[in-house]
Every structure is written in structure tokens, then in C-alpha cells.
């Protein structure tokens, strides 16, 4: 008897699940929402031939880059700026690749330690080379003809778990192709 009730229960479940009928009358269309922005509102550009000037009062090297000189992109106070310094090329099996280092960046030289740093607002950016020794003895290799890549990101974008030290990951996240990056020369 118990098996007959189980069998009857299975058949009734199959019968009711298998049934199909009208889905009912379609409802009225709703109002369209506001269109969102297409992609991430970000910009990337390169500045080559950057020269730093020694500032004796602070014993550091500094230079100022004004954004309007390089882009017509509107930069907001809430935007985040990432700065990468070019560290040369490496040969890979599929050809040469550029090495970029996220600033701040430290170097250990014979005289002591130096660090590239920067400060910015929505108008311009100051780049600095600071050190723990008499900076007048620093080689021109660090202060003249430097090459930087600047990435401007919406402030809320940085809340994501993006590896900002990985240039390829940053470019991929903001859908920027390497070939499309504008290069401005200060030479």
C-alpha cells in the first residue's frame, strides 16, 4: 500500500509539472531608464623628455605637468591619477616589451636612496625626486629626459580590486589599447 501511494504521488507530480498553458497576458511596457555612460571615463597619455629642476630649499628635484598642456579631458577633483615611469625595454620571446613602474618608486644608488613621488590636483601634477643625501650629486640619468605614462581614472573606479602596479591589467580594465595611447614629447 505504501508503494502504491508513493507511485501515485510520483505520477501526480509528473502530471502537474508537465502541464502547460497560457503564460497570461503580457503587461504594459515600462518607461525607459536613463542611459548609462559608455564604458569607463578614463584617459591615458605619455609624456616623454621630462626634465627635473633642482630645488635647493628642499634638496630635491621637481617638475610640474599641467594637464591642459597634454589633454582636453576634463579632470575632476574626485579622479585618481596613476603615474608610471618607463624603466626600459626587455626582450621577450615574442619581441621587446616596455617596463613601467608605478610611482612611488625607490632606487638605491651609491649615495643613498632616492624616491620618485608625485602630488596632484585636477589642474596639474608635481613630480618629485627626493633622497636622503645631497641631491646635487644625483646622476642626470634620473633627472633628465624621463618618460612617464599618466592614467586618469574616475575616483569610484579605484574601489575595485584592480592591481594598479600591473600596467596591462589597468589598460585592460579601462579598455585602452596600447597603440591608442597619445605620446607627447617635451624635447
Tens digit of each residue's pLDDT (9 = 90 or more) over 150-173: 999 988 776 668 888 888 888 988
Q: Distance between terminal CA atoms of the chain?
A: 95
For residue 122, is pLDDT > 60? yes
Q: Can you tell me the distance from the alpha carbon of 1 to that of 5, in angstroms, rounded to the nearest whole number?
A: 6
pLDDT score for 94: 87
Instruction: Tell me the β-bridge partners of 85.
Output: 101, 148
| Residue 113 to residues 5, 72, 129, 137, 139, Cα–Cα distance (Å) | 84, 36, 10, 12, 13
| Residue 136 to residues 29, 52, 108, Cα–Cα distance (Å) | 72, 12, 16
Q: Can you tell me the distance from the alpha carbon of 75 to that of 150, in angstroms, rounded to the nearest whole number?
A: 12
For residue 10, is pLDDT > 70? no
Instruction: Tell me the β-bridge partners of 183.
Output: 46
For residue 15, is pLDDT > 60? no
8 A C-beta contact, residue 78 and residue 89: no
pLDDT score for 145: 97
Q: Can you tell me the distance from the alpha carbon of 80 to that of 75, in angstroms, rounded to the nearest whole number?
A: 9
Q: Which three cell numbers stand for residue 8?
A: 501515485
Q: Which tops the pLDDT comparison, 41 or 144?
A: 144
8 A C-beta contact, residue 128 and residue 118: yes
Amino acid at each position: 500500500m505504501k508503494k502504491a501511494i508513493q507511485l501515485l504521488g510520483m505520477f501526480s507530480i509528473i502530471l502537474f509539472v508537465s502541464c502547460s498553458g497560457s503564460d497570461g497576458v503580457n503587461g504594459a511596457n515600462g518607461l525607459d531608464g536613463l542611459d548609462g555612460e559608455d564604458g569607463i571615463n578614463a584617459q591615458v597619455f605619455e609624456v616623454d623628455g621630462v626634465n627635473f629642476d633642482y630645488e635647493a630649499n628642499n634638496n630635491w628635484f621637481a617638475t610640474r605637468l599641467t594637464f591642459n598642456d597634454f589633454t582636453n579631458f576634463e579632470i575632476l577633483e574626485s579622479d585618481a591619477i596613476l603615474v608610471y615611469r618607463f624603466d626600459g625595454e626587455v626582450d621577450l620571446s615574442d619581441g621587446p616589451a616596455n617596463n613601467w613602474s608605478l610611482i612611488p618608486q625607490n632606487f638605491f644608488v651609491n649615495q643613498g636612496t632616492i624616491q620618485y613621488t608625485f602630488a596632484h590636483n585636477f589642474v596639474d601634477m608635481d613630480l618629485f625626486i627626493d633622497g636622503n643625501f645631497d641631491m646635487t650629486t644625483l646622476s642626470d640619468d634620473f633627472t633628465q629626459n624621463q618618460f612617464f605614462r599618466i592614467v586618469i581614472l574616475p575616483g569610484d573606479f579605484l574601489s575595485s580590486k584592480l592591481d594598479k602596479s600591473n600596467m596591462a591589467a589597468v589598460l585592460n580594465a579601462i579598455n585602452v589599447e596600447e597603440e591608442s595611447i597619445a605620446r607627447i614629447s617635451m624635447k
